[in-house]
Amino acid sequence: MGEMFGKRLQFVRTDRCLTQSELGGSTFRAREISQLEKGRREPPRGAVRILAERLTAVPGYPRPQSGADSRTFLEFSAAQAWDERNYRAARRFAQLAADAALAEGDPMGWWELTFLAAVCLHRLHQYAACVEEAQLLARHPLAAEGQPLRPQAETLLATACQGAGRLPEAVDHARRALELGWSVRLDAGQHIEVYQALIGALSESGLQDEAWGYCRTLLIPLLEASTDRQAAGKGFWAVGDVAFRRGDAAAGVRYHGRAASLLTPAADLEVWAAFTRGSAALRLAEGLHDAATRECLMHAETALSVVGGTEEEKLSNLHSRGRWLQLTGNHVGAVQVLTDVYEHREALSPQGAGEVALHLGLSLAALGSDREAAEFLDQSAAAFSAAGALERAGHAGRLAAKARTGLPLGLTGGTGT
Query: What is the tens place of the pLDDT at every residue in 339-376?
Result: 999 999 999 999 999 999 999 999 999 999 999 999 99
Report the CATH number at residue 222: 1.25.40.10
Number of domains in the chain: 3
The reported pLDDT for the residue numbered 416 is 46
131 three-class SS:
helix
Residues 288, 343 share a domain: yes
Q: Check whether residue 250 and residue 304 sit in a common domain.
A: no
Confirm whether 321 is domain-assigned: yes
List, in sequence order, the alpha helices (H) in 84-206. 87-103, 107-123, 127-139, 149-163, 167-183, 188-204
| Residue 357 maps to a domain | yes
Does 345 lie in the same domain as 389?
yes
What digits encode the pLDDT tens for the residues 314-337? 999 999 999 999 999 999 999 999
Does a structural domain hold residue 136? no
The reply to whether 288 and 392 lie within a common domain is: yes
Summarize pLDDT for 67-90 with one digit per residue, the tens: 679 999 999 999 999 998 899 999
What's the sign of the alpha-carbon dihedral 368, 244, 303, 159?
negative
To the nearest whole percent, how much of the chain has pLDDT over 90?
Answer: 80
Give yes or no: residues 176 and 120 share one domain.
no
The sign of the dihedral angle between the CA atoms of 357, 359, 362, 363 is negative
Specify the pLDDT at position 315: 95
Over pLDDT 70: what percentage of the chain?
97
For the residues 36-51, what does the mean pLDDT come to?
Answer: 90
Q: State the average pLDDT for the chain.
A: 92
Angle (deg, nearest 10), helices 107-123 and 149-163: 20
Question: What integer pLDDT is reported at residue 252 of this predicted model?
Answer: 96
Give 365-405 pLDDT, tens digit per residue: 999 999 999 999 999 999 999 999 999 999 999 999 999 99
Same domain, residue pair 347 and 253: no
| Rounded Cα–Cα distance for residues 352 and 310 (Å) | 14
Residues 254, 284: one domain? no
pLDDT at 417: 42
What is the identity of the amino acid at 38? Answer: K
Are 250 and 300 part of one and the same domain?
Answer: no
> CB of 174 within 8 A of CB of 201?
yes
Confidence check: pLDDT of 113 > 90: yes
What mean pLDDT is predicted for residues 248-256?
A: 96
Does this model's pTM top 0.75? My answer is yes
Q: Which domain holds residue 295?
A: 278-417
